[in-house]
Amino acid sequence: MIGVMRSKWGPAVIGGVIGVITLVFVFYGIFVPGSGSRGPGVAGEVNGETISYTEFSRALNQRIEFFKGLMGGKVSEAQLEQFRVGESVFNDLAQRKVFGQIAKREGFYPSSQEILDEILKQDVFQKDGRFDKTLYRNLLQANALTPVRYEEMVGRELMDRKFREFLVSLVQITPVEVDRELRIAREKRKFKYVYVDHESVRKLLPKDLKPEEQSAKLDEKVAEIEKQVIPALSSGGAIKYPVKTSDWLTARSNVIPGVGSVASIQNDLFALKKGAAAQRFALPGGTFFALALSSEQFNPSSASAKDRQDARAKLLGEKQNDFFRRFTSALMKEAKISRNEEVVSRGKGSSVPVSFDQ
């Protein structure tokens, strides 16, 4: 698998997964009274590995608490169904299982000594600054865990951590990429433009047109406007449509006041050169005619160390997101995943009560 990752995406992209794969601490939230109870079945399986009722219900309750925090302390069952929270939780757990399986298969599982060292330094088992064996056993017993089971869980967390560290070692962001990012973010343009809202054009069309006729007539009208606007913008001649001048914009400026989002035309818009003819651009709600008035170029020597550090972090985040979408999609398609709809979609059979409005 690692060899395939290297050959298909390269080390720089592979490393980006680190900040995006949210491999939640395996025993996060485990010390909760009653959380260790077990049900008679499972929520699903991932490549033969079980997702238990208990595991799913604990994760679901944590997600519900998160939604409560966002929604003023209450969340209804109908709202959870609307947001498909159960399915989302199951998918997260399935994804975590798949990544854990890969890490184990690739040899990242820790030694017994590494697991012991990790447990000995965990604060929850410390008393008077030292590991307390009695406290350790009592806490595990209170949560229906045996030392063997808990050591396995710690081993999985360490395995995930080692796998992440390996992926981090593959990250490569080059100075050229950093300069390119800074240039995109720092180079500025000003444009003279005319924006024609299509809704205002439709009001000028005959009222009895069929939808397909209206679309054709709209295109014809916009073409007529283009014949007037493009030459006038380029020459500075009079136009009956409002002509505006933008503020300084960068390639990250996604919105122009009065026009809305220009993200879909950003690259083409910033390709305009001062002195070149005005161009027409199609936007979802209208047509945008623009002429490049002036520009400010980016000087790489003006960037501070912090500027470069911030740019590098941004690039890393983008690569993480891109890799995560592609790699996770391929990975989950290959995995054999089954789920118990009675538990995941309908919330039945869980051994850990699911809490809504409390």
What is the b/e burial string over 125-145, where b = at least 16 CB atoms within 10 angstroms of the residue's CB? beeeeeeeeeebeebbeebeb
Q: Which two tokens stand for residue 68?
A: 């409560």
> What does the alpha-carbon distance between residue 187 and residue 299 come to, in Å, rounded to a whole number?
9
CA distances from 226 to 211, 229, 237, 246, 353 (A): 23, 5, 14, 20, 64
> Which pLDDT does position 12 carry in this prediction?
39
How many C-beta atoms surround the C-beta of residue 339 within 10 A? 21
Tens of pLDDT along 92-147? 999 889 988 988 999 999 999 999 999 999 999 999 999 999 999 999 999 888 99
Q: Which two tokens stand for residue 61?
A: 């309750």
> Which pLDDT does position 252 carry in this prediction?
83
Q: What residues pair up with 337 in beta bridges, in sequence order? A: 46
With H, G, I as helix, E, B as strand and everything else as coil, classify residue 299. Answer: coil
> What does the alpha-carbon distance between residue 181 and residue 297 come to, in Å, rounded to a whole number?
13
- For 12, how many CA atoms within 13 A lie in the half-sphere containing its CB? 10
The gap between the terminal CA atoms of the chain, to the nearest Å, is 46
> Which pLDDT does position 347 carry in this prediction?
61
> Which pLDDT does position 127 carry in this prediction?
93
With H, G, I as helix, E, B as strand and everything else as coil, classify residue 113. Answer: helix
Tens of pLDDT along 181-222? 998 888 899 999 999 999 999 888 888 888 888 889 999 999
> What does the alpha-carbon distance between residue 96 and residue 220 come to, in Å, rounded to a whole number?
54
Positions in the chain short of pLDDT 70: 1-40, 324, 346-358
> Which pLDDT does position 287 carry in this prediction?
95
Contact yes or no for 42/344 (Cβ under 8 A)? no
> Which pLDDT does position 146 carry in this prediction?
92
With H, G, I as helix, E, B as strand and everything else as coil, classify residue 98. Answer: helix
> Which pLDDT does position 282 carry in this prediction?
94
